[in-house]
Chains A and B, each alone.
Chain A
Amino acid sequence: DAGITQSPRHKVTETGTPVTLRCHQTENHRYMYWYRQDPGHGLRLIHYSYGVKDTDKGEVSDGYSVSRSKTEDFLLTLESATSSQTSVYFCAISEGTGEAQPQHFGDGTRLSIL
C-alpha cells in the first residue's frame, strides 16, 4: 500500500469552529489531492497541489483552504465549519506526468459537524 496517512480518522466538532485535516505521504509524489465523498455525489475534488506551495481549486472549494509547505504534507482547513461540510474526506497522491496517473488514496477522515 502507498504510504498515505490521514489524521484524524474521525472528528466531531461544532458549527463555527476551525478544523484542520492532515495528509502525510512517504512516496515523494508531486501531486496531492483532497476529495470529499457524499452519498449521491460520489467523489468531488476540493483542492489539489502540484508542488510545494503550489495549489489550485477543485470543483467544491468554497469554505476550504489548503497549504503545502513540505512535499510530504498537505493540510485541508475548514476556517469556520458548517453542517454542510459533514462528509468523509479523502486524500490522494499521484506521480506527475503529462496525463492523469493512478491515484493512491488514504483511508479517509470521517468529519461530523453538529
Chain B
Amino acid sequence: SQQGEEDPQALSIQEGENATMNCSYKTSINNLQWYRQNSGRGLVHLILIRSNEREKHSGRLRVTLDTSKKSSSLLITASRAADTASYFCAAAAGGSYIPTFGRGTSLIVHP
C-alpha cells in the first residue's frame, strides 16, 4: 500500500509561476523525501526532511512537513521549463529504513 500519496496528480503552469505539490501519508514517519524523475530517467533525490523538522530549503525548493496532519508540501519557486518532470514523495515509517513511494505528480512548465 502507498505510504505517500501526492496531490495533484498533474499540474500545468507557466514559466515563472510557483508550483506546489502535496503529499499525505498514513503512519508516523522518521523522515520524508522528495524525488524528481525526468522522462526516461531514474529518480533523483531532492530533499530529505526529518520528522522533527518543519521546513527545509534547497535553492528554489522549499519543503514543509506537518506531522499533525501527516502531510508535506514541495514548493518550486519561479519555475522553469527544465523543472518539467514527475515529482514523488517517499515516506519512511518509524523504525523502517526503506521509504514507500507515492504515485507522483506530473508537472509541466510551459515556456
Contacts and interface: CB of A to CB of B under 8 A. Distances in A.
Interface of A: 4, 31, 33, 35, 40-45, 48, 58-59, 90, 92, 96-108
A103 B2 contact: no
Contact of B99 (A97, A100, A104): A100
B97 A99 contact: yes
Interface string B71-111: 00000000000000000101010001111111110000000
Interface residues of B, number: 25
Which DSSP category, helix, strand, loop or mixed, fits chain B's interface? strand
Contacts of A41: 103
A45 B101 CA distance: 9
Interface string B1-15: 010000000000000
Interface of B: 2, 30-31, 33, 35, 40-45, 48, 50, 88, 90, 92, 96-104
A103 B45 contact: yes
A104 B45 contact: yes
